[in-house]
Structure formats: C-alpha cells, structure tokens
Amino acid sequence: MNTDNATEIFEMDSDSEIEQEPEVNIEMIDEPEYAQEFIQNCGAVLEGEDMAKAEFVEFNNKPDSLFFNDGTRRIDFVLVYEDEDKKEYDKRHMYQRRKRRREYFEASLMKMGLELEATHSVLDEKVIFVKVHAPWEVLCTYAEVLHIKLPIQPNDMKSKDSPFNCFTKYFYPSKELIAPETEYFTAPFEKDRLEYFCIKDQDTFFTPSMRSRIVYYILSRALYEVRGKIKKFGITKLLGSVVYKAAYPLHDCRFNVKSEDKNCPNERYLLYNEWAHPKSFYKMQPLDLIRKYYGEKVGIYFAWLGFYTKMLAFAAVVGLGCFIYGYQTKEVSTWSQEVCDPQIGGNIVMCPQCDRECAYWRLNSTCESSKKLCIFDNFGTLVFAIFMAVWVTLFLEFWKRYQAELEYEWDTTEFLEQEEHPRPEYEAKCVHERLNPITKVKEMVPYTTCGKCMRVTCGIGTVFFWILLIIASVVGIIVYRLAVFFSFSANLRREIKELEPFKEYVTPQMATSVTASIISFIIIMILNIVYERVAILITDFELPRTKTEYENSLTMKMFLFQFVNYYSSCFYIAFFKGKFVGHPGDPVYWLGKYRNEECDPGGCLLELTTQLTIIMGGKAIWNNVQEVLIPWLKNLISRYCMSVGSEKVIPRWEQDYQLQPMGKLGLFYEYLEMVIQFGFVTLFVASFPLAPLLALLNNIFEIRVDAWKITTQFQRGVPEKTQDIGAWQPILQGIAILAVATNAMIIAFTSDMIPRLVYYWSFSVYPYGDHAEYTMRGYINSTLSIFRIDDFSNASKPLPEKNPYWFDTENITTCRYRDLRYPPGHPRQYEHSIYYWHVIAAKLAFIVVVEHVVYFTKFILSYGIPDVPLEVKEQIKREKYLTQKLLHEANLKLVTKRLKPVADNILRNTDGEFRPPFVPSQ
C-alpha cells in the first residue's frame, strides 16, 4: 500500500449510530493502490460520478426460477430491504441515511462488476428484493483471488473399494437419484490459463456454492459510505444497522416439492428425501452432495458427526454388555447379599449421618441401593474403562485418516492460513503500520503489540472471572446439599410415610442428590446463556484476523467455560464428596456450620451416575427444544402472518426470506454440544457404562434433526471453506488424555473395587482374616468401623426422640460407619487402620499402573496408525505432479510467445527480406 494513503481509515459502522445524522457531502478522493486483500476498495464511487441503480422489474410468475427475468443470468445472492418511500411521511426523514448508504453500496457493487435486478414483494409492497448476479469475468477474477481449486483433468487413480461394501451398499442413498460425482485432479484457478481447466460450460463451471462464496466476499468488502479519508464497507454492518433486512443465497427449490424448472438440479429436494427425512434414518449421509450444496464447513461437520456416531456403536455394544453383566450378577454378589441379609445387615446399626436431627438406621435399609450399585460397580466396569481408553484413541486416529481423505477429495489439503482473507471487521480497524517479519513489507494492522497484549489479557481475565463464578455456584450447590440433607434427614421419612412403595427407595441422600442435580442443571443453562454473549463480546474486542482465528478463539473460551460449568459438579461428587468427613466423634464442617456430607449408603458412584443421567438427558432435551422447536415455531408464525398471500404465486427468493437466517456462528453450537457429550462419554464412563449407548441413540436422532433443520427451517448459508474441524481437534485429544486419569481415579477413589480386591487378596485370609481361602465373605463387617455411642459430642449426639422404635439404648452401645479406623478401646482408637493404608497404597499403585499401561498403548496405536492413508498420499503426489507440469507447459508457451518477435527480427537479413530459420535435413 502506498505511504500517501496510509492515513486512510476503513471503518465498519457501529450499530448504534444515530439515524437522523444530516447528509454528508462526499469529498473527491483519489483511487489508492491496495494490496490484494484490499481489492474491494477498487469499487469506490467518486464525487460527481453518477451512481448506477438496480433495474426494477415485475415478477414474471415463475416461482421456481433461479434466474433474472431474462432467464439467462443466475441469481447468486439476494438482498432484502424496506422501501423508505413507503414509510409514513413524519418518519421518512429517519430513513434517509439508510437509503443513501444502500444506494452507494449498490452502486459500488455494480462498479465492481456485479449485476443487480430489483423486484417488489408479492406479499408486502414495502419489501424489495435485490437479486445479485456475478458475470463470468467477475467470477474468474475473484476465483483467482480466493485461490479456488478447479478441475484440470479426470482422476486416473481409482480408489479401492472397501471390503465391507457388499454390506454397506444397502445403506447408501440411491445412485439413480444421487449419482457419484466424477473425481478430478484440481489446481488453483488462473484466468491466464483457462485452456488448461475442464470448462465444458461457463454457466456450470463454477458451482452455485462457489458463486455464492465469491459474491459474499464482494458484498463483505463493498463500500457504502465515504467521508474524506474514512471509508466504511461491508454487508455485515448494513444488516446490523437495518439498512438491509436480510442477505442470503437461494435454495434451489422447495424441500418437499420437486421444481418444475428444467434448469433446477433439485439438490435441496434430494437432500431432504435421502438425508433429512425421518424415513432415511438408516441411510448413510450423501456427504459429497452436502458439501456441494452447503460448502466444506457444513460437510466436514456432518462427516465428523456421522463418523463419531458409527464409532459409538462399538462402545455402546461393549457398555451394554457390561451393564447386562452387572445386572445379572447383582443378586449373587457377596457384599450385596450381606447387606440385604437380616442376620448380617439387619443386625448392623449405622451411626447418624448428620447432627442431632438424624437417627440411627440399619444397614439392610440400603439393600436396594446396594443392588443398584452392583450394576455399575463391578469388574466389568474396569474392563470397560480400559476399553474406552483404547476406543477413544482409535476414534481420533481413524478420524484423522478419514479427514485426510475428505481433505483431498474436497480440495482443502493445501488450504493454508495465508489463503484465508482477513475478516472485514479486522480490515476496517487497520490503522497502524508494521513491518511483516516474513515478507519484510510494511502492512496495516489494527493494533500495536502492546494493544494486542492488552486485548488478550482482558479476554483471559474475563474467562477466569466467569470460571470463578461457576466455582462459586458449585460451592453454593454444595452448601445447599448440606443444608437440605439435614432437613430431609429430619422430615423426609415422615412426610412420605403414606407412599409405601417408594419409601424404601427415596432416601435423604437420594432426594438431596436428585434435587441438587436439577438445580445444578438449571444454573448451568442460565450461566450458558449469559456467558455466551460475554464470550462473543470479548472475542470481538480481541479482533482476530481471520474467521478461523475468530472461531478458534471463541471455541477455547466457550469450551473452558462449558467444561467447568458442566463437569464441576461431577468432579465434586466423584473426587470430593464423602472423602473428607472425619468420623462421628469428630466430623468435618463446611464454613464452621454445615457438616460435610457423606455418600449415599449405596456409594458415591451411584450418585455420580444419577448426576450424569440428569445432565445428559436434560441437556439433550433442552438442545432439541432450542434448536428445532423454536425455529419451527418462528417459521410457523411467519407463514401465518403472511397467509393473506397464500393464493398468490410466491417467488423462490420470497419463500426463502420467510425462513430463519443462519446464525453468525453457524455450526459452532452443534460442535460444542457434541464435544460436551464426548466428555460425558469418556471422562466418567467408569461410573456409567450406558453413556455411549445413550449418546449413540441421541446422535442417530441428532444427525437427522440437524439435517432437517438446516434443510427445511433455515435460509441457505454462505458456503465456507475449511480444512478440518479446527480447534475442536486438540480439544478432543485433550479430553481423551484426561479421560484416562479421571476413569482410573473414579475406579480407585469413588468405587469400592480396590477395597474389595485388597480384602479378597489380603484381609480375608491369614494373617489378617479368619478364612482358610480367598473369599468376599465378611467384607461388609470388615469395612465398617465401630464407634462408641457415649463418645458423641453434645453438638452431634442424636436427639432421643429421633431414635427409631427398635433402638434399645441399654443394649446398643456402639454404631458403625463407613471408614477404616481402629475401634474404641484400641491404643490408637479412631485413627486409620492398617487396612486403610493398604487400600491407599493399592489405589495409588492401580492409578500409576493403569495410566502407564493405557498411555503406552495409546502411544503405540497413535504411532502405528498413519494419519494419511497411502492411497491418498499417492493421489496428492500425482496431483502435484500434474499441476507442476501444467504450470511448466504454460510458462514455456508464454516464453515462446514473447520471444517469437525477437527471433523474427534476428532472422531478417540486411536487405529486409525474411530468412526462414534453418531446418536440418532428416
């Protein structure tokens, strides 16, 4: 960029600017020289120059037409606005500034080569649709700017068929309806080398998604206001300030009715019937058609979601097997039988679990909880946790291979950051000059190094503040648990005494856990809504350069918040609840007032399972309501309000206008939802082996719901190019690494598996036990410590009136509690016993061994599975060879063409006669 023009400022208008601002005279400006990324400013309309206007035409009563009225020029984009001249007279002056901006914007578009045609709405005369068409020259110019790769010759390397094709072919969409696309080798488009590209027809050479992407690039950079050296541009802010009400590319037809126009490919109709319709739930996704119609970004999301769902099927089968194994063995487990035995569990008197108001209770009252615990806490769970650690590694490695195949097929293998153009919001703020360390050329940036550090620091500080806010809410839930457990312990049994069938199941611990989980879920949803807006504001303030950088920055902020928000309560139950409670004579208190809560008599693992079920189920229901029901209701209301025009012929662009616009962040929330689910499936799977099965069922439904939503309820989004799933890939890898540690710790510290193993192999036989052979008999009695009732303090001693009818104060002098401590009368009474230290050592050893074995296995699998299949590597090399050959031949022809006049002059003799070049005889 010339230094003379370095002081020019490019702005995107604030939404809050006053509409009543008086008209500004646009001063005469010189056309500056711009770098390629600022090519948009070549469309500036100078002072005194006549501003071209879109031609108004009448609707030609062809509702399925995708062309201008001439039937030749294709509609690549549609802009919608309300005519200010139709407004009430006393308010008309408020809209004049919008009108000026719109006229200047449209004039800039036309100067940049786009063609416009305007049409009044058939339902509302105030609404005007501006149809935008990009001619061949414009498409060629910007295809080169955007480095769009186009076919140069058919792919002569056939792909190998999968050995499973004989089974999977019945699950693919009909090839008669959706024919496989011809595979081509491609190269970045160049106008000067048209003859090397496979151009059969100029009208179809650029696909509709390519055309829409090119036009949106121009719209995002066209000027709409110039004041001296300040230039304002971009459709984004014009939409924000309501200069335009909508901007979108067209769907090619109605989703449920095939177009009668012979020029219409009916791709939306095919997608609905073969992909989005509920009857097609068993079919594989037509990914090539999805990518062709919606772009690579949408295609890669559905490819990832489909691959994740298929991999979940293996985990779901194994998890279901573990659940069935636990369910079948719950009646025969020795420790469960001892709890339920009237002669064992019925004679064990347990200590109260809260101060004063809680009563003594018999162990066999937790019989049902003990049986339910056996379903999830068994040796099958250990096997499943190790299986899931291997599964998640295989999932990520095989996804990388599949993603590499898609990258090649969809021409995103060499999609580099340098090819991605800056966001208009970034370009608008470029007012500082710096030396690019790579190119050594001066460039404009929106902030200095100090300013960038300040923005990043502000963003990090805000994220940590909100994380602390979540932790505070978790602490509040814990205090709620402690306070409510005290109340439930005193009153719950009495209040539900009439509900005899449920009396044995609704324990104070279970009631506290369920109500706390529901409240926690509500708080999670509220904080999500608020934080979402904060995260967007902070990311906007940071001003990332490209859209990829913007989404990656927002992704990390949102995921860190969601991670703490969704998982903090689960981590509390898994690793903190019931771990620091002391003993009945010296309990631990929170805030010096609330006695720390103990686990449910069935164990904390059961509570963790309850928490996961409520949050996973509630989140799935909430997301479906938010993503499907709300857009459907909005469209229903919109159609109802427009019912007056139901008898009129409505054009394609007006039908699309009644649909909901795609959000600014597109598929961000879809990814976030699935990654959070992935965390539930992997991080806590040791406590809930049915999690993969529930996730599988949800995802089978999710794929079709997302497909139905994007196909039927939303306007067609602007196709975007992307190479992979972006920042979600390292997040998934981080979750996979963390999942090994969390599951090992859940098995070690939350379940009773390690204490059982220690008892079986050490304390059931000599010298610690009385049994002659290894057995689990006596486990319950061995793991319950004894407490003398007289040792209760006055603050925690149960009230006499709270004692149950069977409690005999004269004969019952001790009670039992869950811990491994020496009994009263021992020289070290109420201190941890040798059994406790054996268990702690075994738990730590288990964590170390399992983590090292699993991490080593993951490393071997990651190293042994190449990220890119050999076949794809060969095709990439073949394509590079052809591209280089093409460029070499083109350069040779260009050199030959330029040297020919020079050679002709040299060969002329002094008499001015032409001497033909010497040709040797054969």
Q: How many residues does the chain have?
A: 922
Q: Mention every residue, 6+ apart, whose C-beta is less than 8 A from residue 522.
A: none
Number of Cα atoms under 13 Å in the Cβ half of residue 717: 23
pLDDT attached to residue 19: 41
pLDDT band at residue 289 using 50, 70 and 90 as cut-offs: very high
For 884, other C-beta atoms within 10 Å of its C-beta total 11
pLDDT attached to residue 3: 39
DSSP 8: -
647 pLDDT exceeds 60?
Answer: yes
pLDDT band at residue 167 using 50, 70 and 90 as cut-offs: low
pLDDT average, residue stretch 709-718? 91
Tell me the sheet residues that pair with 660. 714
Instruction: Give helix then strand counts, H and E, for the chain.
Output: 27, 20
Average of per-residue pLDDT values in the chain: 80
DSSP H helices in 592-749: 604-624, 630-641, 652-657, 668-683, 691-708, 728-745
pLDDT attached to residue 723: 83
**Spatial contact of 275 and 173, defined as CB atoms under 8 Å apart:** yes
Q: Specify the higher pLDDT residue, 124 or 37.
A: 124
**Spatial contact of 434 and 443, defined as CB atoms under 8 Å apart:** yes
User: What are the structure tokens assigned to 870, written together?
Assistant: 């050999």
Closest CA to 134 of 80, 212, 200, 192: 212
pLDDT band at residue 392 using 50, 70 and 90 as cut-offs: very high
Q: Specify the higher pLDDT residue, 278 or 116.
A: 116
pLDDT tens per residue, range 293-316:
999 999 999 999 999 999 999 999
pLDDT attached to residue 87: 62
Tell me the sheet residues that pair with 227. 230
Closest CA to 581 of 596, 571, 593: 596
Measured distance CA(594)–CA(354) in Å, rounded: 9
pLDDT attached to residue 788: 93
pLDDT tens per residue, range 664-704:
777 888 898 899 999 989 998 888 899 999 999 999 988 99
74 pLDDT exceeds 60?
Answer: yes
pLDDT band at residue 613 using 50, 70 and 90 as cut-offs: confident
pLDDT attached to residue 795: 84
**Spatial contact of 839 and 755, defined as CB atoms under 8 Å apart:** yes
Maximum mean pLDDT: which of 393-407, 501-515, 518-532, 557-571: 393-407
pLDDT attached to residue 447: 72
Supply φ then ψ for residue 327, to 5 degrees: -65, -40
Proportion of the chain above pLDDT 70, given as a percent: 83
pLDDT average, residue stretch 228-242? 81
pLDDT attached to residue 602: 61
Closest CA to 295 of 609, 718, 768: 718
Closest CA to 114 of 225, 220, 11, 33: 220
Q: Specify the higher pLDDT residue, 449 or 237.
A: 237
pLDDT tens per residue, range 504-531:
556 666 777 778 778 877 887 788 788 8
**Spatial contact of 303 and 294, defined as CB atoms under 8 Å apart:** no
pLDDT average, residue stretch 127-139? 93
36 pLDDT exceeds 60?
Answer: no
5 pLDDT exceeds 50?
Answer: no
pLDDT average, residue stretch 374-396? 89
